Chain A
Amino acid sequence: MTRRRWTMFALVLLVPALAVGAQRFSRTAPGEHPNPNAEYDGRFTFIRVKFTPLNTGWDLKWDHDYPVAETHLLKIMEEVSTVRSHLPETSIYGFSDAELFKYPVAYVSEPGFWTMNEAELAGIRAYVNKGGFIIFDDFSSRHWINFEDKWRRAFPNLALVKLDITHPIFDAFYRIKTLDMTHPYFGLTSEFWGAYEDNDPSKRLVMIANYNNDIGDYMEWSDSNLLPVPLTNEAYKLAVNYVVYALTH
């Protein structure tokens, strides 16, 4: 490889990194100053779950891609489906917030840094056992360790199961043809994990985890050319399917 080619390669890597960094650092943890929560009115509202992140300093983690990712998803969903969405407001609640229980679908970003106090632990158990559905996203590699640890702490008897394309969640709205997907930045092969109610595969999934994936990022940057369009499309398909599945199963 010539020096010029090395320079080009470095630029290709650097530009997105700078763009991401600029976006994040310019607003310094959007979760610190979130938009007002949407008032409950029965329509589908995107719920992002907040938590105290694990040893990350100023970065809240749970607020990654907020609020652009969810706003984009709601707009897309409004266009392609009959889901009545609460637009443009979204909401942020912790697992210990009573108001969370008015929304049966919740999104957790960066579960690799997820922690729970006792109230949140009781909250997530009640939420799932009553019928709530959780989407875990934006974690990869060693983040799994923390995610699995926290999940097992909350649900020691609910096994994590790797899902394949035959699961109905991948056919709830779009018929997703393949799960061959990669992480937007690290090139890791995505995996989709779930947990069944009562560990019974004939029952509903109570959560889905996009491991080695970050559909939030795909959705956030979908109005730019930063990430590949085909993968961004797949991310939207997955997100819409998750919501439709969660509202019907």
Chain B
Amino acid sequence: MNGAPVAPSEVPHPPVDALAEFLFKYRPAAFARGALGADPVVPVLLVVALASAVAGLGLWALARQASHEAPRIRGTLGGLRVAAIALLAWCLCRPVLVVAESVAQRNVVAVLVDDSRSMRIADVGGQTRAQAALRLAGGADSALLRALGDRYQVRVYRTSAPGRVTEPAALPFDGARTRLLGAVTRVEDELAGAPLAGVVVLTDGADNGARDAGASGMTEQLSTLRARGVPVYPVGLGSARFAKDIEVAQLEVPRAALRNATVLVDVLVSHRGFGGATLPVIAEDGGRIVAQGTVTLAREGEAASVRLRVPVTEAGARVLRVRVPPQPGELVTENNERRVLITVRDRKEKVLFVDGEPRPEIKFARRAVSGDQQLQLVTLLRSAKDKYLRLGVDDSLELVNGFPTTRAQLFAYRAIVLGSIEANFFTADQLRMLADFVSERGGGLLALGGRASFGEGGWAGTPLADVLPVELGVMARGDSLHAVEIKAGLTPAGLRHPALQVMPTDSTVAERWRTLPPLTTVNALPRAKSGATVLLEGTLGDRTVRPLLAMQRYGKGRVLALGAQDDWLWQMHAEMAVEDSTHERLWRQMLRWLVSEVPDRAELAPIGEAARGEAVSLRALVRDSVFLGRNGASVSATVTAPGGKAQEVAFDWAVDRDGEYAASFVPDSDGVHEVRVRAVSGRDTTLAASAYVLVADPTDEYFGAERRDALLAQLANETGGHGYDADHATDVARDLVYSPSGATQVRRLDLWDMPVVFVVLTMLLGGEWWLRRRRGLA
């Protein structure tokens, strides 16, 4: 039936249990739960005295008989004799195991059948897991129910829905998810008040219910079950290891992107039995292939990854499907594909570029970004003392007085580029605002090298010094600074970073960065901070290595620091081809990355995927102009289904968090639903945001579909139950006898007649006899 091996560390090995039961007369569960006691026929002291006397007499006789033997031999003979007498004395004391035992026909046992789709997998000796479950619990005459029925009232439940199952054989096994722990809890709830001796679970061990919004974690659910004291007895069904399988185990992809971006999709492919194979990986958007790659699978058990670059040119919700074509011999092919919802935004992200001196950096940054419809680079250039050149502003009033003096003005931008401008250009309030722009507002910051940048610009000791991902040193000040060449080198982190994907493949990206001409730096940036990541290393002429481009998260925002003063040379340099777009891509992608997760004043928390008929939790965040949570707003949403059917949803303030509002809706059709939320805050402030939710048939069941012994063992251990494989499932009936839950009675079980006692006694006496014969004493 189920010939798959079961790891001893995870589920108790049935043959060991059987041997233990033979030697010790009772099930290991009895010893696990019971306490040792004694019911002596004669007083214990008398037994001890008698045994001591017999032992003394025996030792005296042995001493006389074996006086010529070596002390080692005499000691061994004496020891064996004394041990045998002590064991007999222990038996005379009549030892017992005091244990609580279920009262026959007074207790209820719940049998919970996993009726999810993964039970349709045919990996139990050619039969499906469902068939194996039904053989055990499909009807009153099935093996498990018959074994339990002798002593208990048996009630059958299923994991996918509440209520008893009267005809288990009719279960369709079509549950879209397995909420195993939740189902156990529910069954216990349904049987609250009844003398529940235990819950027997027939399952493959999958639990993907914790991925639901609002569901508590697995540890929390296990703690709840442990606290209830009802032992759970999982019976693992299915193969613990498929012979051949390909699984798209994970997709790492940003949930949101700006239109015309190239989204990096990291695909993790795991496998069984395909080590060394090179397989295609295909990404599709709306049935159209948008990216392809190949993955060479590593040796058995190791996952391999491949990166796909997917251009997103259409705004709105895009459902990206990534798949590996089914391979010969695969038992499960549904796990060869994963899908993910990407929200492609089509709007201008406003970025403020502040610089203290006219320099080419401004020109080339503006030029690089100018063709990007999703980026608006507003430039504030101090061209003379108290004189500003404003470029890219929306109207004549924007930045008319220079750098913003209020948080509301500054926080209207989504990222800031800080050029060569000294710290004391800003007031103390403005410096604090800059730091808060990143940490509290969640804005992006790009700090560029220059003669008035970083330590050379007096930024050490300012609030922004904490924000930057690099330690600040000082070379010199102003014009006395000596520019040194710095050659960029891509780090492994840089190779994976979206900002540095200036070419279409990993190898060409690495080659491009390796061959770029050197830049110059006038800033001493000795090292990156401990929490930062270096994306580009810079090698100086003396082989000293410094961070050239480093990033870190600071509070809610993202920060990049670029230590060179003239990255525009990657556009202008004689070695750069006219058509080369490295500089342009770098700037666009740096800014896009900086703004990609910047929060809006009103927004919906990511929803992702849901199933038809299941409640979708919505969480709206509403903030004021300085990005503090705004309570008391009137928040509502319109949910529009793919067919155009709309429903209104009202939000309630989530009392425990400022500015957070919650609601839910139940989709009744598949497809991408748009959720447009409106927040009316104060008298005249109306904020709007939108998000998407993909309603689709869940496929979670087919991922990680091998039998999960680890979870089953944990469930058994945490609740005081025991685990079984399908062949030994009926043993549960005998272990349940010792369940402390339900109606129990105390039993005192004799231990003196355990076979192990006679085995040991025979060994002791036989051993002495053998030794005596060998030494010529018998």
What total of chain B residues lie within 8 Å of the partner, measured CB to CB? 39
Chain A neighbourhood of B568, CB < 8 A: 104, 131
1/0 per residue, CB under 8 A from B, across A222-249: the answer is: 0000000000000000000001101111
Does B379 have its Cβ within 8 Å of any Cβ on chain A?
yes
Contacts of B529 in A (CB 8 A): none
Judge if A40 is at the interface, Cβ distance under 8 Å: yes
Q: How far is the CA of A40 from the CA of B482 in the complex (A)?
A: 10
Complex-state Cα separation, A129 to B574, whole angstroms: 12
Contact in complex: A42, B520 (CB < 8 Å) = yes
Query: How far does the alpha carbon of A152 sit from the alpha carbon of B243 in the complex, in Å?
Result: 72
Asked if A80 and B384 make an inter-chain contact with CB atoms under 8 angstroms apart, the answer reads yes
A130 to chain B, nearest CB (A): 5
A19 interfacial by beta-carbon distance below 8 Å: no
In angstroms, Cα B367 to Cα A100, docked, is 20
A102 on the B face (CB < 8 A): yes
Q: CA separation between A210 and B362, bound complex, in Å?
A: 25
- Which residues of chain B are near A102, meaning CB under 8 Å? 566, 569, 572-573
Q: Does A52 contact B (CB under 8 A)?
A: no
Report the minimal beta-carbon distance from A152 to chain B, rounded to whole angstroms: 19
* List of B residues within 8 angstroms of A8 by Cβ: none
Choose from A42, A81, A98, A131 the contact partner of B358 (Cβ within 8 Å): A81
A43-67 interface code vs B (CB 8 A; 1 in, 0 out): 1100000000000000000000000
**B566 in contact with A42 (CB, 8 Å):** yes
B391→A248 contact, CB < 8 A: yes
A40 touching B363 in the complex, CB below 8 Å, given contacts A130-B576, A248-B379 = no
Q: Which residues of A contact B366 (CB under 8 A)?
A: 248-249
Q: Is the CB of A244 within 8 A of B520?
A: no
Contact partner of A173 among B356, B383, B573, CB < 8 A?
A: B383
Contact status of A244 and B359, CB under 8 A, knowing A43-B479, A82-B384: no
Query: Within the assembled complex, what's the spacing in Å between the Cα atoms of A249 and B367?
Result: 7
Residue of A nearest to B522 (CB): A42
* Cβ-based interface call for A83 (8 A): yes
Q: Fill in one digit per residue for B566-601: 1 if any A CB lies within 8 Å of its CB, else 0.
A: 101101111110100000000000000000000000
A-contact bits for B341-360, CB 8 A (1 contact / 0 none): 00000000000000011111
Question: Chain B's nearest CB lies how many Å from the CB of A239?
Answer: 13
- Least Cβ distance of A34 to chain B in Å? 21
A residues in contact with B389, CB < 8 Å: 172-173, 244, 248
Q: Which residues of B contact A218 (CB under 8 A)?
A: none
- Of A44, A82, A84, A100, chain B has the most CB atoms within 10 Å of the CB of A82
Closest-by-CB residue of B relative to A39 is B483
Question: Given contacts A41-B482, A126-B578, A247-B358, is CB(A101)–CB(B363) below 8 Å?
Answer: no
Distance between Cα atoms of A106 and B220 in the complex (Å): 70
A101 CB contacts on chain B under 8 angstroms: 572-574
Our pick among A41, A126, A132 for the contact of B483 (Cβ within 8 Å) is A41
Contact residues in B for A100 (Cβ distance below 8 Å): 574
What A residues does B382 contact at CB under 8 A? 82
Closest partner residue, chain B, to A133 (CB atom): B363
Q: Provide the A165-204 mask, 1 if CB < 8 A to any CB of B, else 0.
A: 0000000110000000000000000000000000000011
Total interface residues in chain A, CB < 8 Å: 32
Instruction: Answer whether A82 and B383 are a contact pair too, CB < 8 Å, given A101-B573, A102-B573.
Output: yes
Determine the distance from Cα of A125 to Cα of B578 in the docked complex, in whole angstroms.
9
What are the residues of chain B within 8 A of A126 when measuring CB–CB? 574, 578
Residue pair B359, A130 in contact (C-beta under 8 Å): no
A242 to chain B minimum Cβ distance, whole angstroms, is: 11
Once bound together, how far apart are the Cα atoms of A100 and B520, in whole Å?
16
Which chain B positions have C-beta within 8 A of A203?
370
CB pair B363–A249 under 8 Å, yes or no, is: yes
Chain B residues with CB under 8 A of A125: 578
Instruction: Please provide the chain A residues from 66 to 118 with a CB less than 8 Å away from any CB of chain B in the complex.
Output: 80-84, 98-102, 104
Cβ–Cβ contact B360 & A104, under 8 A: yes
**Bound: A249/B522 CA distance, A:** 24
In the docked arrangement, what's the CA distance between A204 and B370, Å?
A: 11
Contacts known (A246-B363, A248-B362); A41 close to B574, Cβ less than 8 A? no
Say if the beta carbon of B364 comes within 8 Å of chain A: yes
**Are the CB atoms of B571 and A130 closer together than 8 Å?**
yes
Q: Which of B363, B568, B569, B571 has the most CB of A within 10 A?
A: B363
A130 cross-chain contacts in B, Cβ below 8 A: 571-572, 576, 578
- B259 on interface, CB distance cutoff 8 Å: no
B381: interface (CB < 8 Å) = yes
In Å, the complex CA distance between A115 and B24 comes to 108
Q: Mark B479-501, 1 if CB is under 8 A from A, else 0.
A: 10111000000000000000000
B151 interface residue, CB < 8 Å from A? no
* Other-chain residue from A41, A82, A204, A247 in contact with B360 (beta carbon distance below 8 A): A247
Which chain A residues border B383 with CB–CB below 8 Å?
81-83, 173, 244
Decide if A247 touches B359 in the complex (CB within 8 Å). yes
B262 CB → nearest A CB, Å = 23
Interface string of B361-405 (1 = CB under 8 A from A): 011101100100000000101111101010100000000000000
Residue of A nearest to B421 (CB): A82
A42 touches B573 (CB 8 A): no
In angstroms, Cα B574 to Cα A125, docked, is 12
Q: Contact between A131 and B356 (Cβ–Cβ < 8 Å)? A: no
Q: Which residue of B lies closest to A128 (CB)?
A: B578
Q: Which of B35-93 contact A (CB under 8 A)?
A: none
Say yes or no: B479 contacts A131, CB within 8 Å. Answer: no
CA distance A84 to B385 in the complex (A): 13
Report the Cα distance A247→B419, complex, angstroms: 14
Nearest chain-A residue to B359 (Cβ)? Answer: A247
List the A side residues contacting B364 at CB < 8 Å.
104, 131
A131-B571 in contact (CB<8A): yes
Q: How far is the CA of A244 from the CA of B379 in the complex (A)?
A: 13
Q: Mark B533-575, 1 if CB is under 8 A from A, else 0.
A: 0000000000000000000000000000000011011011111
Nearest-Cβ distance from residue B279 to partner chain A, whole angstroms: 43
Of all chain B residues, the one with the shortest Cβ separation from A100 is B574
Q: Is B94 an interface residue (CB 8 A)?
A: no
Shortest Cβ gap from B562 to chain A (Å): 14
**Bound form: Cα–Cα A244–B360 in Å:** 10
Known: A84-B359, A131-B571. A248 touches B381 (CB 8 A): yes
For A172, list chain B residues within 8 Å (CB): 389
Q: How far is the CB of B148 from chain A (nearest CB, A)?
A: 82
A248 and B565: CB pair below 8 A? no
Residues of chain A within 8 A of B370, CB atoms compared:
203
- CB of B318 closer than 8 Å to a CB of A: no
Contact between A132 and B358, CB atoms less than 8 A apart = no
Chain A residues in 8 Å Cβ range of B451: 42-43, 84
Min CB distance B366 to A, Å, is 7
Would you call A131 and B572 a contact (CB within 8 A)? yes
Assembled-state Cα–Cα distance A132/B578 (Å)? 11
- B573 contacts across to A, CB distance below 8 A: 101-102
Shortest C-beta distance, A79 to chain B (Å), equals 10
> A98, B578: Cβ atoms under 8 Å?
no
Name the CB-closest residue of A to B356: A82
Which residues of A lie under 8 Å from residue B391 when comparing CB positions? 248-249
Give the residue of B358, B379, B565, B575 whose beta carbon is less than 8 angstroms from that of A82. Answer: B358
- Could you tell me the distance between the alpha carbons of A103 and B481 in the complex, rounded to whole angstroms? 19
Closest to B362 in A: A248
Within 1-50 of A, Cβ neighbours of B (below 8 Å) are at: 40-44
23 A-B residue pairs with CB within 8 Å: A40-B483, A41-B483, A41-B522, A42-B359, A42-B450, A42-B520, A42-B566, A44-B359, A82-B358, A82-B382, A82-B384, A82-B385, A101-B573, A102-B569, A131-B363, A131-B568, A131-B571, A172-B389, A244-B389, A247-B360, A248-B358, A248-B362, A248-B381
Q: Top 4 A-B pairs ranked by shortest CB distance?
A: A98-B574, A41-B483, A247-B358, A101-B574
Interface residues of B (CB under 8 A from A): 356-360, 362-364, 366-367, 370, 379, 381-385, 387, 389, 391, 450-451, 479, 481-483, 520, 522, 565-566, 568-569, 571-576, 578
Apart from A244-B358, A247-B359, A248-B381: 9 A-B pairs, beta carbons within 8 A: A40-B483, A99-B574, A102-B573, A243-B358, A244-B383, A244-B389, A247-B362, A248-B358, A248-B363
